[in-house]
Amino acid sequence: MERMSEALQRGAGDDLESRVKRAGGVLTIDLDAIVANWRLVTARLRPGSRCAGVVKADAYGLGMAQVAPALASAGCRRFFVATIDEGLALRTLLPEAEIMVLCGPFAGTEHDFLAHRLLPILNSPQQVADWAQFARRREQPLPAVLHVDTAMSRLGLNFNQAKAVAEDRATLAAVPPALVMSHLACADDPDHPLNSGQLAAFAAARTLFPGIEGSIAASSGIFLGPDWHADWVRPGAALYGLRPTPRSLNPMAQVARLQGRIVQLRDVDEGKTVGYGATHRVVAKARLATVAVGYADGIFRALGNRGCGHVGERRVPLVGRVSMDLVVFDVTGVPADEVRPGGFIDLIGPRQSVDDLARDAHTIGYEVLTALGSRYYRHYLGRTEE
Amino acid sequence: MERMSEALQRGAGDDLESRVKRAGGVLTIDLDAIVANWRLVTARLRPGSRCAGVVKADAYGLGMAQVAPALASAGCRRFFVATIDEGLALRTLLPEAEIMVLCGPFAGTEHDFLAHRLLPILNSPQQVADWAQFARRREQPLPAVLHVDTAMSRLGLNFNQAKAVAEDRATLAAVPPALVMSHLACADDPDHPLNSGQLAAFAAARTLFPGIEGSIAASSGIFLGPDWHADWVRPGAALYGLRPTPRSLNPMAQVARLQGRIVQLRDVDEGKTVGYGATHRVVAKARLATVAVGYADGIFRALGNRGCGHVGERRVPLVGRVSMDLVVFDVTGVPADEVRPGGFIDLIGPRQSVDDLARDAHTIGYEVLTALGSRYYRHYLGRTEE
């Protein structure tokens, strides 16, 4: 199966300058900012707690192939991915890293874990039993992470299931736990009663596995305070600049900038309508800029007649519906020399964070990042060459 | 820049069976259904009208590298793409096809068009002037498509701008029009008054360019009737199985099936909450299935506590929020032998079309398709080998 990006690579004109000229949008990713965020989190931790890096979903859409080596060069040794394929891809990038795979093994994939030194996260009694059986067949103990569910009802052993594992000496001998982990449901709401309930449930589960390291906090959990840091924290969102503390200013450095290219400027008269469904009507003579990014690039349709862009410091409203490949901004009043065809409008930038864009789209920054499409020219700042 | 898919290819275990076993989701794409849809559209056209194929946005997320050759093998000779990069990628796939690029040339990309025989669609007076200047420098006429705006206020020349081009003999000599096109804003609403207004405006614009072929209808426009067929129609959505006729049954064959793999089954007691924010509370003893796809795979967060999947013919509600890599279904009442870890739940399939899923997510099927992520195992049925 050949994907478009590969077909393109066989084409000509693939030098950097040509690719920028052809791009309808430019996504700039600051690897040094990601590293700074990893260090900022690390510096907040209680003594003895260490910081892994979550690079699942292609490093939240920003490019695992660039992000993971940057984190490793800053000292990150342990990484979390969601899927087996992501683990395999990360192994080729970082031969020495410790890689933990959140979905755990599916039937018939155990050899992939072993051959590529991926540590499975075992979520269910069946995954535990299957992995133990695999270890016994190999006649070698095969460490794994035990995932304990404390409120998500999503993945993980409940307390009784964890207890059964802890009391099963044969299983423990075959599967020495490398880590006991859980996951918070409401960490972004410091007052939510589930937080302390989960922490207590996690503590209870850990007593089943004395001497084994633990981890419960992802980005927002880290900012709940040192009680949550355990032995390992697992930030993802915070590394990529999303706000882990919804009630206060964002302590993280901004990582991404997204610029859409202006294809056409248009002066329209009062009464004209814009876009599909004619949902926006121009109420006074206006100047419109059509930009070459759309929902196929992750600019959600939910932003239609709601979102905005920026030209420098000036806010320009998004008018009409978002099209698949295009979006229109009202640039009336922006000085003529600041908008021109071929120029750019910021969709994510100094004046509009990923979280801001997400709010207008009725979602969260995580979804904005992971939806960023494959048609952008991706420009990496910072330590690509290390 | 290396993307994850490329890093993965260097890994081991890349045979088909291994890839299926590792996949959290399987996306099956029926190329024969796409071809059948292209033929169904072609058969509806008024005599003399011909059918192009729109394969922009990686063939609406379904894979241009597979879809475009399938359409070509069925007789499709003219293709529309959105971006220059898509044009270049398509040229490597189909050396003989006619390729029209909707965004037109950006400054400095004219040679890409010429070298790869891409026909630019000229949207603005500036694009016309720049392309004409390029042709004069090359001392050869360089055909292009003229895009006339008739209500979108998005891309295209307004009537006066088109008239100025038509009266400029030097420009017409340098840029012989290959096609005059426009685009409908409200074709999915047969009663919308803009439709007839746009058709009349398009007819007026075409009188400026006697003898030049015209095109105004995309998928829904085709189903408005033969008055809209002009010389060329440009279906995209309809080829991919989306309903072009929102008020009646879908005449198109279904193209896509999306199955998410069950990672874990869980029996939970009354009162337990599910997922982030604890937004779903189990009201009676329930059985939950956690499935390894999430919003990073294009399963929109907007589906949280709204969407559903199917096990066979049985509807299973999506409960709690959609996570990045996971989603939970309530499978209470589904016979135990029909849901098992490693098995699948349909997200798009015989009982739930792309349009159905889109409705639950407050969007349109187009956005569902173009958001389909890169982590699925993609399985193509039909004429891959032709």
Parallel, antiparallel, or unpaired: how do β-strands A118-122 and A98-101 relate? parallel
Measure the CA–CA gap between A289 and B250, rounded to whole angstroms. 35
Burial of B111 per CB tally in 10 Å (0-12, 13-18, 19+): middle
What confidence score (pLDDT) does residue B383 get?
Answer: 78
A362/B contact by beta carbon, under 8 A = yes
What confidence score (pLDDT) does residue B247 get?
Answer: 87
- Answer yes or no: do A91 and A139 share one domain: yes
Residue B16 belongs to some domain of the structure:
no
**Residue A176 CA to its chain's centroid (Å):** 30
Q: What is the CATH number of the domain that holds A99?
A: 3.20.20.10
Parallel, antiparallel, or unpaired: how do β-strands B327-330 and B286-291 relate? antiparallel
Measure the CA–CA gap between B74 and B383, rounded to whole angstroms. 10
A276 is catalytic: yes
CB A106 within 8 A of CB B21: yes
- Answer yes or no: do A140 and A289 share one domain: no
Residue B24 belongs to some domain of the structure:
no
**DSSP 8-state code for residue B352:** B
Least CB-CB distance to B21: which of A18, A63, A106? A106
- Mark which of A216, A240, A264 sits at the end of a domain: A240
Residue B9 belongs to some domain of the structure:
no
**Which mean pLDDT values do the consecutive 10-residue runs of chain B (386 residues) have?**
43 74 97 98 97 98 98 98 98 98 97 98 98 98 98 97 98 98 97 97 98 98 98 98 94 98 97 95 96 98 98 97 98 96 97 98 98 97 68
Residue in B with minimal Cα distance to A105 = B22
Contact assignment for A22 to B109 by CB distance below 8 Å:
yes
Parallel, antiparallel, or unpaired: how do β-strands A144-147 and A118-122 relate? parallel
Contact assignment for B380 to A1 by CB distance below 8 Å:
yes
- Answer yes or no: do A280 and A233 share one domain: no
- Nearest CA-CA partner of B31 in B56, B65, B80, B79: B65
B282/A contact by beta carbon, under 8 A = yes
Q: Which residues of A touch B321 (CB under 8 A)?
A: none
Measure the CA–CA gap between B4 and B23, rounded to whole angstroms. 15
**Structure ipTM:** 0.95
- Answer yes or no: do A168 and A45 share one domain: yes
- Answer yes or no: do A132 and A50 share one domain: yes
Exposure pattern of B318-342 as b/e (b: 16+ CB <10 Å)?
A: bbbbbbbbbbbbbbbebeeeebebe
- Mark which of A185, A213, A240 sits at the end of a domain: A240
Cβ neighbours around A159 below 10 Å, total = 14
Measure the CA–CA gap between B4 and B8, rounded to whole angstroms. 6
Residue in A with minimal Cα distance to B192 = A277
Burial of A6 per CB tally in 10 Å (0-12, 13-18, 19+): middle
Cβ neighbours around B2 below 10 Å, total = 14
In which domain, by residue range, is A206 found?
Answer: 31-240
Flag whether pLDDT at A10 surpasses 60.
Answer: no
Residue in B with minimal Cα distance to A366 = B324
Domain count along chain B: 2
Q: pLDDT tens digits, residue range A283-322? A: 999 999 999 999 999 999 999 999 999 999 999 999 999 9
Report CA-CA distances (Å) from A200 to A184, A227, A247, B276.
12, 11, 24, 18
A186/B contact by beta carbon, under 8 A = yes
Contact assignment for B109 to A65 by CB distance below 8 Å:
no
Phi and psi angles of residue B258, each rounded to the nearest 5 degrees, phi first = -125, 120
Phi and psi angles of residue A80, each rounded to the nearest 5 degrees, phi first = -115, 135
* Helix residue ranges per DSSP H, A139-168: 159-166
Residue in B with minimal Cα distance to A325 = B82
Flag whether pLDDT at A158 surpasses 60.
Answer: yes
Contact assignment for A22 to B84 by CB distance below 8 Å:
yes
Measure the CA–CA gap between B328 and B262, rounded to whole angstroms. 9
Measure the CA–CA gap between A10 and A12, rounded to whole angstroms. 7
Cβ neighbours around A359 below 10 Å, total = 16
Burial of A95 per CB tally in 10 Å (0-12, 13-18, 19+): exposed
Contact assignment for A186 to B278 by CB distance below 8 Å:
yes
- Answer yes or no: do A227 and A268 share one domain: no
Looking at the complex, report in whole angstroms how far the Cα of residue A296 sits from the nearest Cα belonging to chain B: 5
B314/A contact by beta carbon, under 8 A = no
Mean of the pLDDT values across residues A109-129?
98
CB B301 within 8 A of CB B312: no
Looking at the complex, report in whole angstroms how far the Cα of residue A249 sits from the nearest Cα belonging to chain B: 21
A153/B contact by beta carbon, under 8 A = yes
- Answer yes or no: do A208 and A292 share one domain: no
Q: Which residues of A touch B109 (CB under 8 A)?
A: 18, 21-22
Q: What percent of chain A has pLDDT over 70?
A: 96
What confidence score (pLDDT) does residue A383 get?
Answer: 78
Least CB-CB distance to A10: which of B21, B92, B367? B92
β-partners of residue B119 are: B100
Contact assignment for B66 to A324 by CB distance below 8 Å:
no
Looking at the complex, report in whole angstroms how far the Cα of residue B326 sits from the nearest Cα belonging to chain A: 8
Q: What is the CATH number of the domain that holds A358?
A: 2.40.37.10
Contact assignment for B268 to A153 by CB distance below 8 Å:
yes
What confidence score (pLDDT) does residue B142 get?
Answer: 98
* Helix axes A159-166 and A125-138, enclosed angle (nearest 10): 20
Give the Cα-Cα-Cα angle A386, B2, B6 (nearest 5 degrees): 135
Residue A333 belongs to some domain of the structure:
yes
* Helix axes A193-207 and A159-166, enclosed angle (nearest 10): 20
* Helix axes A84-93 and A64-73, enclosed angle (nearest 10): 60
Q: pLDDT tens digits, residue range A35-53? A: 999 999 999 999 999 999 9
Residue B15 belongs to some domain of the structure:
no
Q: Which residues of A touch B106 (CB under 8 A)?
A: 21-22, 261, 263, 342
Task: Tell me the two tokens of residue B153.
Answer: 């206020």
β-partners of residue B317 are: B308
* Helix axes B64-73 and B84-93, enclosed angle (nearest 10): 60
Residue B20 belongs to some domain of the structure:
no
Q: pLDDT tens digits, residue range A334-386? A: 999 999 999 999 999 999 999 999 999 999 999 999 999 999 999 999 975 44
Q: pLDDT tens digits, residue range A219-278? A: 999 999 999 999 999 999 999 999 999 889 999 999 999 999 999 999 999 999 999 999
Interface test with B, best of A2, A152, A191 (most B CBs within 10 A): A152
Q: For chain B, give the longest Cα–Cα distance.
A: 79
Please tell me which residue in B272, B276, B295, B377 is annotated as part of the active site.
B276
Mean of the pLDDT values across residues A72-99?
98
- Answer yes or no: do A290 and A233 share one domain: no
What confidence score (pLDDT) does residue A1 get?
Answer: 35
Task: Tell me the two tokens of residue B60.
Answer: 């609406």
- Answer yes or no: do A77 and A196 share one domain: yes
- Answer yes or no: do B213 and B299 share one domain: no
B63: left (phi over 0), alpha (psi -120 to 50) or beta: left
- Answer yes or no: do A115 and A204 share one domain: yes
Contact assignment for B378 to A1 by CB distance below 8 Å:
yes
Measure the CA–CA gap between B250 and B238, rounded to whole angstroms. 9
Q: Which residues of B touch A7 (CB under 8 A)?
A: 64-65, 89-90, 92-93
Residue A1 belongs to some domain of the structure:
no
- Mark which of B215, B240, B265 sits at the end of a domain: B240
Residue A26 belongs to some domain of the structure:
no
Report CA-CA distances (Å) from B224 to A266, B188, B192, B266.
29, 9, 11, 50
Measure the CA–CA gap between A112 and B139, rounded to whole angstroms. 59
Please tell me which residue in A21, A56, A240, A376 is annotated as part of the active site.
A56
A56 is catalytic: yes
Least CB-CB distance to A185: which of B58, B261, B276? B276
- Answer yes or no: do B85 and B161 share one domain: yes
